[in-house]
Amino acid sequence: MSDGKPRLIAVLGDQLSPDGAALRAGDKARDVVVMAEVREEATYTGHHKQKLALSFAAMRRFADELERDGWRVLYTKLTDAENAGSLVGEFARRAEEVGAEEVLTLAPGEWRLREALDSAPIRIRQLPDDRFICSEKRFADWAKGRKELRMEWFYREMRRETGLLMEGDDPAGGTWNYDKENRKPAQPDLFREPAPTFRKDALVQEVLDMVAAEFPDNFGTLDGFNWPVSRAQAERALEHFITHNLCDFGPYQDAMLEDDRLLYHSLLSPCLNLGLLSPREVCEAAQAAYKAGKAPIQSVEGFIRQILGWREYVRGIYFLEGPDYTSRNALNHSRDLPWFYWSTETDMACMKAAISQTRDLAYAHHIQRLMVTGNFALLAGIDPGQVQDWYLAVYIDAYEWVEAPNTAGMSQFADGGVIASKPYISSGAYIDKMSDYCAGCAYDVKAKDGEKSCPFNSLYWHFLDRHRDRFEGNARMKLIYRNWDKQDEATRKAKLKTAQAVLDKLDAGARI
């Protein structure tokens, strides 16, 4: 600025990238970085204890790194007496302290925060977040005029633009998508490489103690906290995945084992969503492994598709669809979220396994979220707003731009088909095929009806029956409805009666 006054460079808790546009626009000799742990952001949903701990620890570490890089940093801890309690309040307080008249920041990843910054009493300039491969404008341009916004077509365009896994104009290996080769169930393996461990130094331990004291009733435990809190640790996590797990990631990415919770998954999503790693560098690391002959195309393509395809796509959908996206409820589902989503007190082995893992690690992989906890919520007619609130609260990598489209769109079909061409539902047979959960379950996954039958089996048909008017004309579901119609009336009635009994127990708060 020509008047020489300092500006505040505001770095939010999920913007921990030294090369973001706001920091690049700043002047170390004049401007001041401001970072703040505020109760408003810590409590707008009931965040998992490990998510709070990771966010605060990573923020503090990043602030230290900025200071070592020559920035003046004003950092407010959650328990500081002068803490204003909100980001806007902290920015205004710090601006008065240093005489700044303007705040620069990357545009937040939530409509809620963008609107709060727009209405702040101090001028806050929100710069486009250029840490993603596809900008909001680029996505909007791609979407314009399309009748269907399918991820596959977006993904192929991103492959062409970036050159990732391309051989000239053609996809590496000769095909775009290796999904059919990446749906194998896994077997227990004592020699599978475990996840790397990260030392809890004094900074991390201070944060863990603070979260335990300040948020004792939040969901989850801190005992198993083992997440990268710095750029260096995130790089080590990436290297570990590329070296040990990428090779087998593809075939077993949908598999679930009760006593092997992580399998070959990268656990890099929180690093990406905090900004400790960039999506491009992660994709390029996977591509390099393929080119060096260290990982097969099936695994590398499946991994890159999750980032270059799915992650970039859902962010584009979130901002394209607007602030009302999270409130949509196309199927008019209104049942309350069952308490066992918080307590883990259920006799359904798959649900108990997925929710217990979430409680212990703040993590579950995409199939556990989509085809176990999400599948049950959709079949049971749970209010999608409550489902979104749960996913936003309990997962280490959950920020609204990524959580809402995955839940409202992919998982709950609440957006009416913006993302998914049909609901992602299944009976217990899919879970039995892809996991070892069913063997020890109180319910019989082979039984189609009756008190001891797997609830997924009867709820599946109940969902299809009650939503027949909407879905029987769907080209991808016509065969399913023909199957339903071929069953004799007594069989159909028995399944619907069993499902209704399950729903009645849910409404009564009884154990399922």
Residue 234 token pair: 């995130």
pLDDT (mean) for 277-303:
98
Instruction: Kindly tell me if the per-residue pLDDT of 39 is higher than 80.
Output: yes
Angle between the N-to-C axes of helices 312-321 and 136-143, in degrees from 0 to 180, rounded to the nearest 10:
80
pLDDT (mean) for 488-509:
98
The set of residues, in sequence order, having a beta carbon less than 8 Å from that of 413 and lying 6+ positions away, is 330, 331, 378, 420, 423, 424
Could you give the dihedral angle defined by the CA atoms of residues 286, 288, 289 and 291, in that order, rounded to the nearest 10 degrees? Answer: 130
Whole-model pTM: value is 0.96
Cα 397 to Cα 134: distance, rounded to the nearest angstrom: 20
Query: Which of 228, 315, 226, 231 lies closest to 278, judged by CA?
Result: 231
pLDDT in tens, 387-412: 999 999 999 999 999 999 999 999 99
Cα 462 to Cα 23: distance, rounded to the nearest angstrom: 53
Return the H-helix or E-strand segment holding 377. helix 374-379
- 214-242 CB burial, b ≥16 within 10 A, e <16: bbeebbbebeebebbbbbebbbebbebbb
pLDDT at 181: 86
Q: What pLDDT band is residue 496 in, cutting at 50, 70 and 90?
A: very high
Residues above pLDDT 70, as percent of the chain = 99
Instruction: Kindly tell me if the per-residue pLDDT of 344 is higher than 60.
Output: yes
Integer CA distances (angstroms), 332 to 375, 382, 413, 419, 502, in order: 16, 9, 10, 18, 19
Q: What pLDDT band is residue 180 in, cutting at 50, 70 and 90?
A: confident
Q: What pLDDT band is residue 1 in, cutting at 50, 70 and 90?
A: very low
Cα 169 to Cα 207: distance, rounded to the nearest angstrom: 49
Cα 438 to Cα 450: distance, rounded to the nearest angstrom: 17
pLDDT at 3: 64
The set of residues, in sequence order, having a beta carbon less than 8 Å from that of 448 and lying 6+ positions away, is 457, 458, 491, 494, 495
CATH number of the structural domain 136-200+218-321: 1.25.40.80
pLDDT (mean) for 286-311:
97
Q: Where are the domains of the chain?
A: 8-127, 136-200+218-321, 340-508
Instruction: Kindly tell me if the per-residue pLDDT of 376 is higher than 70.
Output: yes
pLDDT (mean) for 6-19:
97
CATH number of the structural domain 8-127: 3.40.50.620
The set of residues, in sequence order, having a beta carbon less than 8 Å from that of 42 and lying 6+ positions away, is 52, 78, 214, 215
The three-class DSSP label of residue 278 is: coil
Integer CA distances (angstroms), 191 to 175, 230, 250, 498, in order: 32, 28, 18, 42
Cα 279 to Cα 308: distance, rounded to the nearest angstrom: 7
- 340-508: what CATH class? mainly alpha
Residue where the block lists tokens 């998954």: 265
Instruction: Kindly tell me if the per-residue pLDDT of 2 is higher than 50.
Output: no
pLDDT in tens, 475-493: 999 999 999 999 999 999 9
Instruction: Kindly tell me if the per-residue pLDDT of 256 is higher than 80.
Output: yes
Integer CA distances (angstroms), 132 to 163, 232, 281, 369, 481, in order: 16, 20, 11, 24, 41
Return the H-helix or E-strand segment holding 65. helix 49-68
Q: Contact at 8 Å (CB) between 218 and 46?
A: yes
pLDDT (mean) for 334-347:
98
Contacts 24+ apart (CB under 8 A), 137-145: 139/312, 139/313, 139/315, 139/316, 139/317, 139/319, 139/320, 140/316, 140/320, 142/316, 143/316, 143/320
Instruction: Kindly tell me if the per-residue pLDDT of 290 is higher than 50.
Output: yes
Q: Contact at 8 Å (CB) between 461 and 492?
A: yes
Other C-beta atoms lying within 10 Å of the C-beta of residue 87? 25
Query: Which of 413, 417, 429, 430 lies closest to 379, judged by CA?
Result: 413
